[in-house]
Chains A and B, each alone.
Chain A
Amino acid sequence: MELGYNALLVLTGAGLLGFTGGATGTFLVLRKRALLSDAISHATLPGVALAFMAMVALGGEGRNLFGLMLGAALSAGIGLAVVQWLTGRTRLAEDAAIGAVLSVFFGAGVVLLTVIQTMTAGRQAGLEAFLLGSTAGMLRSEAEIIAAGGALCLLAVAGLRRLLVLAAFDPGYAESIGMNPRRIDAALMMLVLAVVVVGLKIVGLVLIVALLIIPPVAARFWTDRAGVMAVIAGLTGAAAGAGGALISALVPGVPTGPVIVLLAAGAFVLSMIFSPKRGVLAALARRRRWRAEVME
């Protein structure tokens, strides 16, 4: 089997994105706001559709990845702002606000996709790839955008790591030493939004949440340190991302997103069973030892 330069580039991009997703997701999970990423990702769909329409209206093909990502980022940003507004200004709890935004934005996006299918202009084929992700027929420029975007996000996470840990563990203390937890939260949300937008094409908006959440919860089984957890989550995400891209490239017709998610979920199940401290087997062994001691 021989991988061309393009395929290698796609693998690198998927791996980088996976690492960034796992590392970013670690802080999101520790901040106990994992579900917010679901609202962000689903809120990208109307933006993708509208960006496509806008580009077609301007005489383009409508499939420029950068343009679609821009639209995705804008509508995800609006979705995020609506969640914050609903939570802050009404009596709605955050989970209810997330549910409302997620379904409304996703519904609007699906309606827009249906409209696009009736359009004659533009090449709408392939737009559905943003739902479940695809690496088939990916352009070199697209893979480069994804790799560069993933790397940039990773740099930002590395630079902010101390603030992110502090704000997740003890926001009151963070404020007392002169950090601004609200601004740190906003930075974290921007990072999550960036990961979602960069990963849209590969993982798809329905499943990218899994790349942010599953690797961190798998990593939590292996360490008691936030920094180490972020690295393990990153490695898990990278392996799942690259592995998913590879399998999807080798087996025609298989979307990338679900494969990535299944690989990450496999890592989670193995961690849950075999973790030396928190795993199922370790708990069974502890119980057996305890019972033996009591029976004596």
Chain B
Amino acid sequence: MLMRTEPEDVSASPFAVRGLTVGYGGDPVVQGVDLTVPDGAMLAIIGPNGAGKSTLLKASLGLVPRMAGTATVFGQPVARQRARIAYVPQRASVDWDFPARAIDVVMMGLYRDLGLLRPVRARHLDRARDCLARVGMEDFASRQIGQLSGGQQQRVFLARALAQDAEVYLLDEPFAGVDAATEAAIIAVLKLLRDQGRTVVCVHHDLSTVRDYFTHVFLMNRTAVAQGPVAEAFTQETLQRAYGGRLAFAAG
């Protein structure tokens, strides 16, 4: 049985997925998933390794092909709502030896505004520097990205998403392999976004921080297992169903 405490109205949801099925040639890694993120929620997508959490995000954004299903942002297909969403990929997905400074990466968040040829002006650079400052990285603007620590690289990625000034933030494992200071900095920024009425969705691994960080959870293991406010959907029983016997008392 699926717990449903959220409205079924897709058009009111900043991010909703219906019947999403993804397969890389073999068995589907995500099958028939429905997800409705409430407006202003801070939602964690959780589930065991290989549950298809990152694939769910990537397929929703069109980064990997989907076999079936739709993904919408405020009721419109994602492809027509690119300006309203900001995506933070996994840190390990890029080559950090790339010739770019921290500020150059953040500037990429402005490329939608800049287009192909519009020149970079002082106000663009100011905005990029401001986004770096919001994640506590203002002193590293000119540092080559390969010389940053893993946590600092993750913060640069978040700053790039902030530069987009979106309404919906989709983050793929933002806390994976980062130091405690970075984790604190990132969660502070995300909570601030939520306080401003933005919606935040994170693929998340650490079950011990779910209650502190998030308002809503979505549990999945290839298929949807449970979703709703943390107090209702993040229970011993739902965890047991998502993780099987592998996890005993994480929900404590």
- Let me know if B123 is at the binding interface, CB within 8 A: no
User: For residue A178, which residues in chain B have a CB less than 8 angstroms away from its CB?
Assistant: 79, 82-83, 112
With CB as the reference atom, state the residue of chain B lying closest to A159: B116
Q: Check if A176 sits within 8 Å of B87, measured CB to CB.
A: yes
- In the complex the two chains form, is B111's CB within 8 Å of A225's CB? no
Could you say which of A32, A176, A224 contacts B61, with CB atoms under 8 Å apart? A176
Measured CB to CB, the nearest residue on chain B to A175 is: B63
Q: CA separation between A223 and B160, bound complex, in Å? A: 22
Judge whether A49 is part of the interface by a CB distance below 8 angstroms: no
Tell which of A76-84, A166-174, A205-213, A287-295 binds the partner.
A166-174
Interface string of A170-190 (1 = CB under 8 A from B): 101101111100000000000
Contact: A224 with B144, CB < 8 Å?
Answer: yes
Determine if B111 and A162 form an interchain contact, defined as CB atoms under 8 angstroms apart: yes
B93 at interface by CB-CB < 8 Å: yes
Q: Please, what's the 1-or-0 string for A25-58, where 1 marks a CB less than 8 Å from any CB in chain B?
A: 0000010100000000000000000000000000
- In the complex, how many angstroms separate the beta carbon of B131 from the nearest chain A beta carbon? 15
Whether A163 is near chain B, meaning CB under 8 Å from some CB there, is yes
Contacting residue for A177 out of B82, B98, B117, CB 8 A: B82
* CB of A38, distance to nearest CB on chain B (Å): 21
User: Does residue A160 face the partner (Cβ distance < 8 Å to B)?
Assistant: yes
Question: Count of B residues near A, CB < 8 Å?
Answer: 29
Are A225 and B99 also in contact (CB < 8 A) when A162-B111, A162-B116, A170-B93 are? yes
In whole angstroms, what is the CA distance A178 to B79 when docked? 7
Give CA–CA (A159, B115) in the complex, Å: 10
Min Cβ gap B71→A in Å is 12
A229 at the binding interface (Cβ < 8 Å) = yes
Report the minimum CB–CB distance from A260 to chain B (whole Å). 24
Which A residue's beta carbon lies closest to that of B90?
A172
Which chain A residue lies CB-closest to B160? A173
CA distance A162 to B93 in the complex (A): 20
Question: Nearest chain A CB to B96's CB is how many angstroms away?
Answer: 10
Nearest chain B CB to A87's CB is how many angstroms away?
A: 15
For chain B, residues 71 to 93, give those with C-beta under 8 angstroms from any C-beta of chain A: 79, 82-83, 85-87, 89, 93
Closest to B105 in A: A169
Chain B residue contacts of A169, Cβ below 8 A: 94-95, 98, 100, 105, 108
The residues of A that contact B108 with a CB separation of less than 8 Å are: 165-166, 169-170, 173
Q: How far is the CB of B6 from chain A (nearest CB, A)?
A: 24
Is there an interface contact between B116 and A224, defined as CB atoms closer than 8 Å? no
Q: How far is the CA of A38 from the CA of B234 in the complex (A)?
A: 55
Total chain A interface residues with beta-carbon distance under 8 A: 25
Contacts known (A159-B117, A220-B99, A226-B99); A172 close to B63, Cβ less than 8 A: yes
If the complex has contacts A225-B99, A225-B104, A226-B100, are A177 and B112 also in contact, measured as CB distance less than 8 A? yes
Q: How many angstroms from the CA of A69 to the CA of B38 in the assembled complex? A: 59
Chain A hits for B87, CB < 8 A: 172-173, 176-177
Which residues B155-182 have CB closer than 8 A to chain A? 160, 164
Tell me if B62 counts as interface (CB < 8 A to partner A): yes
Chain A contacts for B101, CB-based, 8 A: 224-225
The answer to whether A177 and B99 touch across the interface, beta carbons within 8 angstroms, is no
For B98, give its contact among A30, A172, A173 (CB under 8 Å): A30
With contacts A169-B94, A176-B63 taken as known, whether A30 is within 8 angstroms of B117 at the C-beta atoms is no
A95 vs chain B, min Cβ distance (A): 18
A224 with B100: CB separation less than 8 A: yes
How far, in Å, is B88 (CB) from chain A's closest CB? 8
Q: Which of B97-129 contact A (CB under 8 A)?
A: 98-101, 104-105, 108, 111-112, 114, 116-117
A173-B93 Cα distance, complex, nearest whole Å: 10
Query: B104 to chain A: which residues have CB within 8 Å?
Result: 225-226
Inter-chain contacts of B112 with A (CB < 8 A): 177-178
A172 adjacent to B93 (CB under 8 Å): yes
Is B134 close to A, CB under 8 A? no
The answer to the question of B211 belonging to the interface, with a C-beta cut-off of 8 Å to chain A, is: no
Which residue of A is nearest B103, CB measured? A225
Asked if B18 is at the interface of the complex by the 8 Å CB criterion, the answer is: no
Contact of B116 among A160, A172, A229 (CB under 8 A): A160
A159 to B85, CA, bound (A): 26
Q: A165-B100, A173-B108 are in contact. List 15 more A-B contacts (CB 8 A).
A: A163-B116, A172-B58, A172-B63, A172-B89, A175-B61, A176-B61, A177-B111, A177-B112, A178-B82, A178-B83, A224-B99, A224-B144, A225-B99, A226-B99, A228-B99
Residues of B participating in the A interface, judged by any CB pair closer than 8 Å: 58, 61-63, 79, 82-83, 85-87, 89, 93-95, 98-101, 104-105, 108, 111-112, 114, 116-117, 144, 160, 164
13 A-B interface contacts by CB (under 8 A): A159-B116, A168-B98, A169-B94, A173-B160, A175-B61, A175-B62, A176-B87, A176-B89, A177-B164, A178-B82, A224-B99, A226-B99, A226-B104
The 10 closest A-B pairs by CB, nearest first: A178-B82, A176-B87, A224-B144, A226-B99, A172-B89, A170-B94, A172-B63, A169-B98, A176-B61, A229-B99
